[in-house]
Amino acid sequence: MHSSGSLWPETPSPSTESLAEGITLLRGFCANEAFALLDSIHAVAEISPFRQMIVPSGHTMSVAMTNTGDLGWTTDRTGYRYTTLDPTSGQPWPPMPAPLLTLAQNAAIASGFAGFTPNACLINRYAVGARLSLHQDRNEQDYTHPIVSVSLGLPATFLLGTLRRTDTPRRIRIEHGDILVWGGPARLIYHGVAPIRPGIHPLTGPFRINLTFRRVAL
């Protein structure tokens, strides 16, 4: 994707790693699609800009977020939930671009989860130092579908926990173009992201972009 003179290391050939039952890491799965994916993300953000949301405790998240799809994940002092409208604009969240939907479905199939049709995609933008504490994805109500998590830009350390919050999570390095998929017996694992280290990526600058695709019960 980049010339041989680039200071950024070349993307390794795609590979598949099974991290645990129901958890698959697709290394470099979407590296060659990064330009199209980032164009789609930019188009979404033009309609529903990134914003740092407030959690029920009153804390402002370090990660900036927006959404695309029929439903979008939001949080404020009243709690966590999915909404059909962007609370900032009062308008529907932008429709999910075809490149994003196709990627999510292909990644799910490659991980053994055929038939996945996400209706929500949370887009997270991590600046240097931003992090995500250990949590479960529970607001979807229907846990029969997997989570598909796409990483673009700066690398990150993914904190891969278990079904018990008290267990020490494994630290998994996630690179540009990697996709992590978890479902089945691992659908409700605790997970998070360690603080992003300083760096500049040729495509995203000083940011990591993460797409999290989910099927939310309507």
* Nearest alpha carbon to residue 57 among 133, 141, 126: 133
In a domain, 37, yes or no: yes
Alpha-carbon dihedral sign for residues 34, 148, 158, 25: negative
**H/E stretch holding 67:** strand 64-69
What is the C-alpha to C-alpha distance for residues 94 and 47, in angstroms, rounded to an integer?
7
Q: Let me know if residue 131 belongs to a domain.
A: yes
Domain count, the chain: 1
pLDDT values of the chain reduced to their tens digit, one per residue, 218 residues: 333 334 444 555 789 999 999 999 999 999 999 999 999 999 999 999 999 999 999 999 999 999 999 999 999 999 999 999 999 999 999 999 999 999 999 999 999 999 999 999 999 999 999 999 999 999 999 999 999 999 999 999 999 999 999 999 999 999 999 999 999 999 999 999 999 999 999 999 999 999 999 999 97
Residue at 4 is within a domain: no
What domain range includes position 47? 15-214
CATH number reported for the structural domain that contains residue 163 in this entry = 2.60.120.590
DSSP 3-state assignment of 36?
helix
| pTM summary value | 0.93
Those residues with Cβ within 8 angstroms of residue 82's Cβ, 6 or more apart along the chain or in another chain: 71, 72, 73, 74, 120, 139, 140, 216
What is the rounded CA–CA span in Å between residue 176 and residue 155?
6
User: Does the residue 182 lie in any domain?
Assistant: yes
80 in a structural domain: yes
- For the chain, state the CA radius of gyration: 16
CA distance 143 to 134: 18
Whether 145 maps to a domain, the answer reads yes
